[in-house]
Amino acid sequence: MSYKVDEIIKEHLSNWRQYPEIVKGFEFLHADAENTLKQQMELVLVEAPTFEEEERAQVFAQMLKEAGLDNVIIDEDGNTFGILKGKGEGPTILLEAHLDTVFPKGTVKEIVHKDGRIYCPGINDDTRGLANVLAILRAIKHAQIETTGDIIFLGTVEEEGIGGFGGMKKFLAKHQEVDGSISIDGAGLNGIVYEATGIRTIAVTFKGIGGHAMGAFGHVANPLHAAARAVAKIADIEVPADPRTTYAVSNFHAGNDTGVHAIVKDATIKINFRSNGQKELEELEAKIIAAIEEACQEETERWGKDTITYELIDYVDNRAGTQDKNAPIVQAAFHLIESLGFEPRLAQGGSTNASIPVTLGIPGVTLGRGGSEGGVHTVNEWFDPTDAHKGLQVIYLLLLHLAGVENKITSILII
Ligand SMILES: [Zn+2]
């Protein structure tokens, strides 16, 4: 992809090396690598499945305090944050990673070191992100950098799965002072997520009367058959390739082993569908709902006795959103990665916490955790910390160029 950063932004981003305290913070992130890793390993042992983040929130809050924030709050949603006050009138910037992991409690047993890798479920996603938030705070404190705007250091709840970025949503609804946002999530340091893929997850339960497989046959319609009809119709829906639009029936539940000779009373399917375009997402939703309604009607008419109805539960409802790929925050992230010697990569679409600011029109990106990693969302998850501080340095510099540094660097959001 050809991508050009404006000269004015390039020039603005080239000045930081002349300020000793900014260089000091930059170098601190390298020197602090062992501490960062130590906190990452402490945090990973505190399990935090989505909706059960309390214990990890407590530990993270304590770490924020130790890193130098005296106003740390765990709010009513569980979001855990502290604010580093700016010295001037600059934009308020959010730096966040998510507290929750995809693993149920009891999954994490121990940390295994093997061949330079650290194995543990959740070691990267997003435990490393949390450790990075803490390290960047320490770097700014250590170098006594005075930012112009406030910086909020945040661990969010409910990012994964049916959490659906709920923590980030709730936080931004309550903190309308946020002018820019960096989320830390994802592998390596090359990727820049600046768009928001729209995501819907719904559960649909088809309902009927039920009865004996032979005795009730012909007298009642079969909700499981209705669900199957719906799935077959959904399977045939055509979607555009661009903007990328996808769907999957991801769950099908009906009946049980003692009821193998029964017509069930209800059958539930779950459907996850996504699009990088909001219009396409809404069109797809209309088609899915039409498929469900037709399926109910067909199964009802097949027998002409009782009526199959359905009930819909919303799990995730995140709008799609686009941010100009030439927005200053995107250009700055791109240039910083490139100027530190790496190859930046703009992601197409994205399902990260940055989706929330982006759909609200707030400049926002998600940047990677640094280092290298694999097996994310599996029990074989591993992290290799080699040169991981370089990812931190990118985020640190972007953060300072968003918040501004008093009398030294003007925020790129207002140049
Ligand atoms: Zn994550």
Write down the pTM of the prediction. Answer: 0.86
Structure tokens at 275: 């699009």
Cα(197) to ligand 1 centroid in Å equals: 15
Domain of 396: which CATH number? 3.40.630.10
26/109 same-domain check: yes
77/90 same-domain check: yes
Cα(166) to ligand 1 centroid in Å equals: 13
Q: Per the omega criterion (within 30 degrees of 0), is the bond before 363 cis?
A: no
Percent of the chain with pLDDT over 70: 100
Amino acid identity, position 390? K
Element (H, E) at 119: strand 117-119
Helix intervals (H) in 304-372? 328-339, 355-360
Cα(160) to ligand 1 centroid in Å equals: 7
Distance CA 170, CA 184 (A): 18
What are the helix and strand counts (H, E) for the chain? 11, 18
Which domain does 310 fall in, by range?
A: 198-318
Q: What is the pLDDT of residues 10-44, one digit of tens each?
A: 999 999 999 999 999 999 999 999 999 999 999 99
Write out residues in the chain with pLDDT < 70, as ranges.
1
How high is the pLDDT of residue 1? Answer: 57
Both ends of the chain: CA-CA distance in Å?
26
Of the three residues 266, 294, 318, the one that is the final residue of a domain is 318
What is the rounded average pLDDT for all residues in the chain? 96
- Residue 92 near residue 177 (C-beta atoms within 8 A): yes
Domain of 293: which CATH number? 3.30.70.360
Is residue 122 one of the residues assigned to a domain? yes
Q: What is the pLDDT of residues 209-241, one digit of tens each?
A: 999 999 999 999 999 999 999 999 999 999 999
Cα(191) to ligand 1 centroid in Å equals: 14
Q: ∠ CA(182), CA(168), CA(321), 5° rounding?
A: 75
The 3-state DSSP class for residue 409 equals: strand
- Residue 158 near residue 102 (C-beta atoms within 8 A): no
253/274 same-domain check: yes
Q: What residues sit around ligand 1, an ion, with C-beta below 5 angstroms?
A: 125-126, 185
Number of domains in the chain: 2
347/399 same-domain check: yes
For residue 414, report the phi and psi dihedrals to the nearest 5 degrees: -125, 10
